[in-house]
Amino acid sequence: MLLLTLLIVALAVPAGLAVSPGFLGPARPPEPAAAGPWQQLPAALSAAGGGGNGGSMKPLSTTARVPDPAALAAQLDATLKADGAGSFTGVVQDAVTGEVLFDRAGDEVRAPASNLKLLTAAAALRTLGPDRRFSTRVVAGAVPGTVVLTGGGDVLLGTGDSAPDAVLGRAGLATLARSTVRALQQAGVSGPVSVLLDDALFSGPALSPAWSPEDVAAGEIAPIYPLALNSARFDPGTTSGPRPQDAAMTAAEAFTARLAEAGAAAGVAVAPGVARATATQKGPQKAPQGGPDVGGGPAGKILAEVESATVSQQVDLLMRTSDNYLTEVMGRMVAAASGKPASNDGAVAAVLQQLQELEIPSATLRAADLAGLTLDNQVSARQLSALVRAMTSGPDLRLRSALAGFPVAGLTGTLGSRYTDTSTARGAGLVRAKTGTLNTVIALSGYVVDADGRLLVFSFIGNGLTPGAAGNRAALDRTASVLAACGCR
């Protein structure tokens, strides 16, 4: 019952925030400050869709009291302490005005771990757009009797039927295979048909030189390709352990098996095995004109395709689960859309360019990858806090799509198993934040509505910490819980 209650609150709070002046700026007459109805147990679920005032939650008010910086600092200084070696930096801002309410070495750049993913999330929503989808296609090859499986950036493919309501597995290889067989039948092709793989959308090394071989071997990351099953996992239900080292070929082999199954039922023979296509084997890529044709027809004609979940849905997934592989792929798609090489370096440059366009000072920022797997990344708490503020309250409404992806304390994603004791209970169901963890690094950046109804954004980064010291994570969670409970005066 406690989890159900927290879940209702977690769902209802964003419903109020979505229409609140705290997110969109003061667009209606100020309302009197309330005694925190957004933190009370709701009498009913919000209305479907969460819009307007149809639910039990009231909009936030821009007249809600702002925490007193001195009173807030006194509480945060008592909780934001390292367990052993190292130290924490941090920034807390009022989301509407940008006023800095807490600043502990906020401009000092540090390794942010997976908090770096916030940069890619913002860049993807701005460059690609929340509603963009990626296509995985089968096109007619230049060599008679060949079809080319072409990666278009979807690494969340499933092996079965397409699942329109899913994110992981929204596009299914079984569906793609059946559509391909129908196109071959219409073209009068009975086979044997050979499958070629085109995964040339990305360029440069498939592994960043900044990644340690140990992390690759452990499955924290894998060589980056523009198509993969289950975000480069062997099984959709497994999120740890070794990954396929050639995710594109693994997906192509699974597609060939599905094509053979569908072809056998329809009288179309499929040759075993897959090879990577050369430029001459692929032929020119063309938009479909007229009916499909394989063997003697124009090469590059699209025979079948399936589409991914939207960029907004994928950003939600990478934020909630801190998916390293999906983040790196999304960065390369940002680079391609920006006219830059779809490589590690091109992706980093494209993402940092978006930060500059958001007018977030970034001269001191350094990025070696986008997933945050290396200590070479250097970002300040102020830069991360400013980025979260752009998502909650900035003028670019495309960034609002990132908000739902922030894990909810005690309920979802990487915060699902945290905020479970008395010292952090005040933040459960209320704090929404991106986590970050490396051996000597821990970070937390996000947003929360305090007890007076003020929307606050924050970022805390610990570096040089004692590996495995449990008190560091607890310190971050207690600190964020202070913000949730704050009526700091």
Burial class (CB in 10 A: 0-12, 13-18, 19+), 349: middle
- The pLDDT assigned to 191 comes to 78
276, 309, 342: which is the final residue of a domain? 309
Instruction: Respond yes or no: is residue 286 known to be catalytic.
Output: no
- The pLDDT assigned to 431 comes to 97
- Give yes or no: residues 244 and 149 share one domain: yes
- The pLDDT assigned to 283 comes to 62
Is residue 10 domain-resident? no
Is residue 28 domain-resident? no
Sign for the CA dihedral angle at 316, 433, 69, 32 comes to positive
Annotated catalytic residue within 308, 312, 322, 380? 322
CATH number at 410 reads 3.40.710.10
Q: Rounded to an integer, what distance in angstroms lies between the CA atom of residue 197 and that of residue 339?
A: 24
- The pLDDT assigned to 24 comes to 42
- Give yes or no: residues 213 and 96 share one domain: no
Residue 113 gets the label, from left (phi > 0), alpha (psi -120 to 50) or beta, of left
Annotated catalytic residue within 117, 282, 301, 434? 117
Instruction: Respond yes or no: is residue 322 known to be catalytic.
Output: yes
Is residue 38 domain-resident? no
282, 309, 336: which is the final residue of a domain? 309
Q: Which stretches in the chain have pLDDT values below 50?
A: 1-36, 38, 41-58, 286-297
- The pLDDT assigned to 298 comes to 56
- Give yes or no: residues 233 and 325 share one domain: no
Annotated catalytic residue within 114, 308, 312, 362? 114
- Give yes or no: residues 320 and 466 share one domain: yes
Is residue 421 domain-resident? yes
- Give yes or no: residues 362 and 478 share one domain: yes
- Give yes or no: residues 78 and 140 share one domain: no
As given in the structure block, the two tokens for residue 462 are 């610990």
The total of structural domains in the chain comes to: 2
433 phi, psi to nearest 5 deg: -155, 150
- Give yes or no: residues 224 and 107 share one domain: no
- Give yes or no: residues 291 and 150 share one domain: yes
SS3 label, residue 278: coil
pTM equals 0.86
- The pLDDT assigned to 60 comes to 64
Instruction: Respond yes or no: is residue 114 known to be catalytic.
Output: yes
- Boundaries of domain holding 214: 135-309
